Structures are given as C-alpha cells and as structure tokens.
Amino acid sequence: MGKPTGFLEYDRKEAKAVLPKERITHFNEFHIPLTEEEQRCQGGRCMDCGVPFCQSGMTIKGMTSGCPLNNLIPEWNDLIYTGNWEQAYYRLRKTSNFPEFTSRVCPALCEKACTCGLDGEPVCTKENEKAIIERAYENGWAAPRPPKVRTGKKIAVIGSGPAGLAVADQLNSRGHQVVVYERADRIGGLLRYGIPNMKLEKHIIDRKLDVMKAEGIQFITNTDVGTTVKAKELLKDYDAIVLACGASNPRDIKAEGRDAQGIYFAVDFLASTTKSLLDCNLKEGTYISAKNKNVLVIGGGDTGNDCVGTCIRHGCKSVVQLEMMPKAPNERADTNPWPQWPIVCKTDYGQEEAIAVFGQDPRIYTTTVKEFKKDKKGKLTSVVTVQLESQIDEKTGRKMMVPVAGTEKELPCEMVLIAAGFLGTQKYVTDSFGVELNERTNVKTKTDHFATNVKGVFAAGDCHTGQSLVVKAIRQGRDCAREVDEYLMGYTNV
C-alpha cells in the first residue's frame, strides 16, 4: 500500500454539505468536493487489510455486505494516494460501467464492510470513486471508445434504467449492435425521473449518454413496447431481447377515503418535479406542487426521504413521514456485527432539512394511515393515523405490524405521497412477450440466470429481482450481458 499507516495518521473526511437552509433554495447537488491533497489522504487511509471485505459483495443474513460490482477498491484507493489518477480510473472502469451514478446514489455498501470501520471510521470509498470519475471526464480519459469490430448481431434492450444501460454498454463494447427503447421522453429510467436532482443532476446522465451514443448505441424514446411497438416485431427484427423495464407497479395503501384528491404515488410526484425542471425550470407550474400544503409521506426509505426534501424545496407548510417499523438503534446491536450491513438509524438530507426548517425530525415510527378524510368536493383535508405493534401470526409464525386500538390521531393534510415501494413489473410488457412470472410477479428465470422461457428473451434488473439498488441493477445488467453474448456467439469474452 502507498501508506500502510495511513488509517492511523489521517482522519476520515468527507465532502462538506452546504447547510440545509441554503441548499433548499435550489435543486442542485450540494456537496463541496475535497481538494486533491485531501482526497489523496483519504485514499491513503485504505488499510493493507489482507481480506478486502469492501469488494466482496457477499450476502449475510439476507443483506449485502461489500460492493456487488466487486470493485477493486483497495487498488484504486492506493492509486489515488500515489497520485496515479488515470490508472485509478482504468481499474475502476474494469468493474463499473457508471461510477458517475453510483458515487452519487449508492448507499456505499463497500464502506459498511470496510475493515477500518470495525474499530473506527471506514474509508470514504464513495467519495474517492466520485473523485476518480470526475477527474477522468476532466482529463478526457472517459472519452468514447467504440468497438473496432462489429459482430452483425442486433439486440433490443427494453428500458433505460441502470440495468438496461449496463446491458447495452457491455454488449456494445463486445461489438453487437444495441438499440435501447424507453417509453418516457428522456433516457435514464428511475435514474432520470425517480432520483431527484439534489442527488443526481441530470446533466451527469446526459454526459454519459453522449459517450454511449458516440460508441454506437442507439436510443429510442417515447416508445412503449407492448403498446406503440409490438413484441412480435422486435422478436422478428432482433437476435435477442433484454427486458430491463423495472419494477414499476407502486405499492398502494388501502384505507378508507383512498379516492380523495391530493393522494399521489411518490414516483409520480418526483417525476413531475424533475420533468418540469428539465422542461422549464419549474416556471410553467406543470408539476405536482406541495407549496403551502401540509404533506404526509408514507414510507421511511430513501424515496420517502427524497419526497421530504422535494416538498421542502417546493415550500410546503409542514411535512410528516410515517414509518411502519420501529426506529432502528443509533449504533449496531450485538446481533448485527460487522461486516453485516448495519441496521442503524440514519438521518438523511431530507430529514436534516426538515429539522432545520420545522425544528423537528419529520419521522413518526410504528404508525400508518387508517383513514383519509376529504371535503364535499372530494379534496383531502386530513388523515387519521394509528400506531402499530409487532405480533406473531399464529398460523404462519411470521411477525406482523398490527394497529393498536385507541391510538388514532388526526393530522391536517392536503397532500399524501405514497412511498411504500414497488411490486413487480407491469404485466402488459411481459404478457406481450409471453414470458413467465414468478410468485412475486417478477420475470421468471432459472436461479442465477437471465434467460426467460421464451427463446432469445432475457431479463435483468428490478423486473427480474424486484425493487433493489442501482448498484445491484448494474451488476444484473453486466451478468445478463454475458449470458446474452454466450447465447449469440456460443462463447463469451464479455
């Protein structure tokens, strides 16, 4: 290692976030990068630990520990410390198609498994990854590299989220001709319309898309496969099809008054803001606005937090975030040892902003909505919440969260955002190709494979696994591309 004692000599230092009350005045990213000297010191904190759990991507008790892409993290941390940024980029590029995305939106599974974190602060690997890729663009190392030889094989990729883009990138680099179909007006899937600008500015996506286009990938937008384009036409025109259309059925909330006006799915709310930002910088009022409204967000995950941050930027009157489960501990429990994913409470950027603006954490735990109340015109006016407690189902033995009688509370509310996750892919797409679904309404394949029951049709990403992380979708795309290549060529060197 460049600095064997670096983890003893240098403290962890991350990019500083702009203060909440300042950053809520815009929708831009809000972290100030470290200087080159500071970044090199952070690379020097990487230990010569012998077994780099950070790049393992293991599953422990159903949770991922370490990077699912198996990024060569100790190698490029060392190269950062020695100032060999170009070589660091090439080592990063070897395993990762889109470090410009993961370095912004990944929850840093690598850091949670870092050996330094066993007894101290982990290496800020995510920060180092971002420094490498941004320097690569600045210096031209990330320029287009179109394949020198084409195979004559054509592949259609349905969906342009991280899995679809990874499939396309891998197969194009092999020399196949790849066409990506997207039903929205812009490429990117949930990268574009599901993740707000504060976490991933959209010019970052466009920058990479320009490279991919220059390398020969074709993108077709405003095309809904299964309706505007028939599956049988694609099956006739292409040598292989990859379904990477996501898990786009949002989980709903069943409660009295659900038909009230003012209740939206989080993905529709977030997409409307991003689209308006891109179209007219929010000037035409075409988005779902939370301005001057009491907002209730149902769901305590990342999407719920994104809704909180977006509502505050709109100028909401108040915001409350409901979480069905109990609050996680502030520190690891003895039953959750390293290198498992740490089940601990984190306060994300949206919650930080709510605390700064409204003086309190917006989250209410072990609580859900019992009733939506509306006025005579059908507009939402308030919600009735109820506390939950954990009980064991006598028939199945499974834990359930059940309402506690007498704990109801009524909160003023003119807008509800449902951020309760997603349930499988949209059936009209899978039906059009005739592919089978499993019991969770995801596309069915053999374990650890991607070929469906229909010859030449493959599946990758959330439509294959269910809702997951961007980094896992990229890994799915890479692995699927290898299987597609072997199907087409009889062998693979992807």
Q: In this structure, are 43 and 82 located in the same domain? A: yes
Q: In this structure, are 312 and 431 located in the same domain? A: no
Neighbours of 206 (CB within 10 A): 14
Q: In this structure, are 21 and 71 located in the same domain? A: yes
Count Cβ neighbours within 10 Å for each residue of 143-175 and write b for 16 or more, e otherwise. eeeeeeeeeebebbbbbbbbbbbbbbbbbbbbb
User: Using CA atoms, how far apart are residues 372 and 259, in angstroms rounded to an integer?
Assistant: 9
73-81 and 36-44 are packed helices; what angle lies between their axes, rounded to 10 degrees? 130
Q: In this structure, are 395 and 317 located in the same domain? A: yes
Stretch 461-478: mean pLDDT = 97
Backbone φ and ψ for 450, nearest 5 degrees, come out as -130, -10
pLDDT tens figures, 213-241: 999 999 999 999 999 999 999 999 999 99
Stretch 25-54: mean pLDDT = 95
For the chain, what percent of residues have pLDDT higher than 90? 94
Domain closes at, from 86, 111, 138: 138
Q: In this structure, are 411 and 440 located in the same domain? A: no
Stretch 401-415: mean pLDDT = 97
User: Are the CB atoms for 478 and 169 separated by under 8 Å?
Assistant: no
pLDDT exceeds 70 at position 412: yes
In a domain, 255, yes or no: no
Stretch 370-394: mean pLDDT = 96
pLDDT tens figures, 114-164: 999 988 999 999 999 999 999 999 999 999 999 999 999 999 999 999 999
Q: In this structure, are 338 and 431 located in the same domain? A: no
pLDDT exceeds 90 at position 50: no
pLDDT tens figures, 78-97: 999 999 999 999 999 999 99
Say how many domains are in the chain.
3
What is the domain-level CATH number for residue 237?
Answer: 3.50.50.60
> What is the structure's pLDDT at 1?
63
| 449 confidence band (pLDDT: 50, 70, 90) | very high
Q: In this structure, are 243 and 180 located in the same domain? A: yes
In a domain, 148, yes or no: no
* CB neighbour class for 310 (10 Å; exposed up to 12, middle 13-18, buried from 19): buried
In a domain, 395, yes or no: yes
In a domain, 143, yes or no: no
pLDDT exceeds 70 at position 490: yes
List the structure tokens of 12: 């962890």
Q: In this structure, are 103 and 134 located in the same domain? A: yes
pLDDT tens figures, 286-324: 999 999 999 999 999 999 999 999 999 999 999 999 999
What is the domain-level CATH number for residue 18?
Answer: 1.10.1060.10
Q: In this structure, are 22 and 104 located in the same domain? A: yes
In a domain, 121, yes or no: yes
In a domain, 16, yes or no: yes
Q: What sign results for the dihedral spanned by CA atoms 180, 182, 187, 193? A: negative
DSSP string, 86-135: HHHHHHHHTT-S-HHHHHHH---HHHHT-GGGGGSPPP-HHHHHHHHHHH
> What is the structure's pLDDT at 397?
84
> What is the structure's pLDDT at 48?
81
In a domain, 207, yes or no: yes
In a domain, 167, yes or no: yes
User: Using CA atoms, how far apart are residues 240 and 480, in angstroms rounded to an integer?
Assistant: 12
Q: In this structure, are 79 and 187 located in the same domain? A: no
User: Using CA atoms, how far apart are residues 79 and 385, in angstroms rounded to an integer?
Assistant: 53
Location of structure tokens 């890479």: 478
User: Using CA atoms, how far apart are residues 239 and 123, in angstroms rounded to an integer?
Assistant: 44
> What is the structure's pLDDT at 268?
97
DSSP string, 159-204: --SHHHHHHHHHHHHHT-EEEEE-SSSSS-THHHHTS-TTTS-HHH
Q: In this structure, are 414 and 269 located in the same domain? A: yes
pLDDT tens figures, 166-199: 999 999 999 999 999 999 999 999 999 999 999 9
Q: In this structure, are 181 and 285 located in the same domain? A: no
Domain closes at, from 418, 441, 466: 418
Domain closes at, from 361, 393, 418: 418
User: Smallest Cα–Cα separation from 198: which of 30, 354, 347?
Assistant: 30
| 248 confidence band (pLDDT: 50, 70, 90) | confident
User: Using CA atoms, how far apart are residues 251 and 371, in angstroms rounded to an integer?
Assistant: 17
Residues pairing with 416 in the sheet: 263, 296
> What is the structure's pLDDT at 461?
97
Q: DSSP 3-state assignment of 44?
A: helix
Range of the domain at 439: 154-248+423-489
pLDDT exceeds 80 at position 2: no
User: Using CA atoms, how far apart are residues 494 and 482, in angstroms rounded to an integer?
Assistant: 5
125-138 and 36-44 are packed helices; what angle lies between their axes, rounded to 10 degrees? 130
